[in-house]
Structures are given as structure tokens and as C-alpha cells.
Amino acid sequence: MNRMRVATWLVAAFLVAACGSSGGGGGGTNSYSGKTIKLGAVLSITGAGGVYGPQSRDGAMLAVKQINASGGVNGAKIELTVEDDASDKAQSAQKAQTLIQSNQVMAVLGPTLSNSAVAVHPLAESLKTPILAVSTTGIHIVPDCKFPETTACKYVFRDSLGEETAIPDNIKAYADDSHPKTGVLLVAQDDKFSSDGGKIVQATVGTYNIQLLKTIPFSKNDADLSPYVTQAVQLKPDVIFITSLGGIPAKIMSGARNQGWQGQFLGGNGFNTATVSKQA
């Protein structure tokens, strides 16, 4: 089967399964009955991305189960191999390369983190293997996966809402509703996802007349975030912007609340997990 044709079928089939349709992915034909479509997934089951990866894994496995139960893709069954990259960029690239070159998968899902995508997506593009970004929402995922090169990537797709859309939309909705005057930005300066999100916040707040009182940088490896939270709270902003992922947003939110701050928190897709909400 042609790789790009398989990618098109799979994106459609996964979306159908996600919508709960009972219709088969084969469009009424069984021309590939008895065959197997080997897919791979590189996800962060452990590490910083462990609050997101297991949900992607479970969703993908459920989709595979539903698609196969309803006839597969043109009669062919899907076999999905999931690899944990431990939220590490180097491991992510190595796992993807093994899936593509050794396991001979037709397409790949992932990785979980945008920080890993900068290594994995150009690799998949160079090996002409379709890859679907299921949760990588940072800048330069599609179509310019090889940034700063400007040539559009042909094999990289994304089904998740990018930060360049999510963050401005969140700010607009909040500004329209609450009319905030001031804000503070907390950003992990050594994390590409957080840094990119911070740049989006900085470029957006002025549109809605929000004065950014201060940008407070920290390291994603800092065990104690309370000094940075204290700096933010003491400025008494209407809103605190958080562009980090993993357990960091919850630490900042709970820390600010413990110091008596009652304002609003805004972020992007880093908030997009029940785990973060529960921890906060």
C-alpha cells in the first residue's frame, strides 16, 4: 500500500472512530483482507509529558480496536506498536527511527511533546514516512517542520490545535468577559514549548489592552517554584499567564492560591489534561 494513501485512510479512519461511528474504515471493499497495516506511536508515557501521553495511547488503542472490529481499512487490520520516549528528545528520535527502519511501520503517531517533535518530525520527513502529531501544539510543527528551512513538509500532519491559535483565543475570550488590565507571564526559558508560548502571549496581550507587568523566567528543572510565584503575586496582576506543560502549571496555580492570590490563570494546551486540573 502507498504510504501517503495509507496516511489519508488512517487519518479519516481515526477521526471516524473518535466520533463513535460504527461504520467500517474500508468504504465497503475488502481488497486488503488478510493483510496488516503496521503503525507506530512514540508517546511520552513517563517523564514530564506523562500527564498527556497515556491519554493519547489509550485513545489510539481504542480507535484501533474500533476500526478493526468494524472491518479495518479496506479489510486490512491495524497493528499499533507504542513506544515510550520518557519525554526525552533523543529517545524520541531513536524510537521513531527504529519503528520506521526496523519495524517497517507505514506511519507514526506522535510524539507527545513539541520539544521532541523538532527532532522526530524532520526525521520522518527525511524517511518519507507519514507522521500524525496528535498533541504537539508548538510553533513550527506544520507545515515548516524543518524550520528555519522554508520548504513545506509533505509527510507531517497535525490534528491538535496549535498554540498560535489556542493562546490568542483564550486571551480574547477572557478579555471580552473580564476586561483585565494587567498580567504577569511565567515562562520556562529552557523549554521550547514554554518559550514559544511566552512569545505568543507577549505578542497578543497588547491587542486587548492588557499591560504585561513582568515576564518571570525560570527553569523547567527547578524543584521549587515558590520564589517565582511570589514575584508574580506581589505584582497583584489581574491574570497570570503560564505557558509550561506537565506538572508545572499545577504547581504555579496551587502556589499562587496558597499565597492568597484570587486572579485568573490563562495558558494554552499545557492545561489540556484532567491530571493538571486535578493537581491544581
Which pLDDT score is estimated for 40?
A: 98
Instruction: Residue 120: give the domain boundaries.
Output: 3-158
Q: Are 148 and 176 within one domain? A: no
| Domain-terminating residue out of 158, 176, 194 | 158
Instruction: Indicate if 131 and 183 belong to the same structural domain.
Output: no
Mean pLDDT per segment of 10 residues, for the chain of length 280 residues?
59 50 52 91 94 93 96 93 97 98 96 94 96 91 90 92 94 97 97 93 98 97 96 98 91 96 93 73
Q: Give the pLDDT score at 111.
A: 97
Could you say which of 135, 158, 181 is where a domain stops?
A: 158
Same domain, yes or no, for 144 and 188? Answer: no
For residues 242 and 186, the answer to whether their CB atoms sit within 8 Å is yes
CB burial readout 208-241, b (16+ within 10 A) else e: eebebbeebebebeeeebeebbeebbeeebbbbb
Same-domain status, 47 and 80:
yes
Q: Are residues 274 and 150 in the same domain?
A: no
Torsion of CA 193, 199, 204, 209, to 10 degrees: 120
Residue 18: per-residue pLDDT? 45
How many structural domains are present in the chain?
2
Based on the fold, state whether residues 92 and 128 are members of the same structural domain. yes
Cα–Cα distance measured from residue 196 to residue 161, given in angstroms and rounded to the nearest whole number: 15
Looking at the fold, whether 151 and 167 belong to one and the same domain comes out as no
d(C-alpha 91, C-alpha 125), whole Å = 18
Phi, psi of 41 (to 5 degrees): -135, 130
| 26 and 136 housed in the same domain | yes
Q: 254: which 3 cell numbers?
A: 496551587
Q: Tell me the CATH number at 201.
A: 3.40.50.2300
DSSP 209-225: T-EEEEEEEE-TT-S--
* Same-domain status, 150 and 250: no
Same domain, 125 and 61: yes
The pLDDT of residue 3: 63
**pLDDT in the model for residue 10:** 57
| Distance (Å, whole) CA 238 – CA 240 | 7
One domain for residues 28 and 130 = yes
Of the residues 158, 174, 209, which one is the last residue of a structural domain? 158
Are 69 and 188 part of one and the same domain?
no
Cell 461511528 locates to 21
pLDDT value, residue 108: 97
Indicate yes or no: pTM above 0.85: no
